[in-house]
Amino acid sequence: MAICCIKNRNIDFSPFTNAGGMPSSHTAMVTALSCSLGFQEGWNSPAFAISVIFSLIVLYDAAGIRYAAGKQAYVLNKIQEILLERGQLDSLKLKETLGHTKQEITVGVLLGIAVSFGLQYLIASGL
């Protein structure tokens, strides 16, 4: 989101509602949540453990399930193009960018950790 705000010079919350792209904003958000809870509640707290499980589910969904659904949408769109050329089907293009690659997930995790550490530093310094 921050990258979009700087690039477009306006506030844009669409990265949190759209799927796909670099970095994974959903991954960054849940990673920052988990790290922040670790700092605030303790790394052995039940809240931190629950947030890590929640984060892992989000990561699995983004890299596994939604990524596979995007690949299937790509194949279905190719089949649809063939059927459209034959006049056997109406146009209904499926969204293909649903999930994230491992690189997008990794950058999202690193971004979430960096944001959490940055916020922890600001809190500790009294800003």
Q: Residue 78's pLDDT is what?
A: 82
The verdict on residue 64 lying in a domain is yes
Q: Which residue, 39, 61, 37, is CA-closest to 49?
A: 37
**Domains: count for the chain:** 1
The verdict on residue 67 lying in a domain is yes
The verdict on residue 32 lying in a domain is yes
The answer, as to whether pTM is greater than 0.75, is no
Q: Residue 95's pLDDT is what?
A: 66
Q: Which sign does the torsion angle of CA 48, 52, 58, 59 carry?
A: positive
The verdict on residue 9 lying in a domain is no
The verdict on residue 10 lying in a domain is no
Q: Residue 15's pLDDT is what?
A: 56
- Domain that includes residue 72, residue range: 20-124
Below-50 pLDDT ranges, the chain: none
The verdict on residue 112 lying in a domain is yes
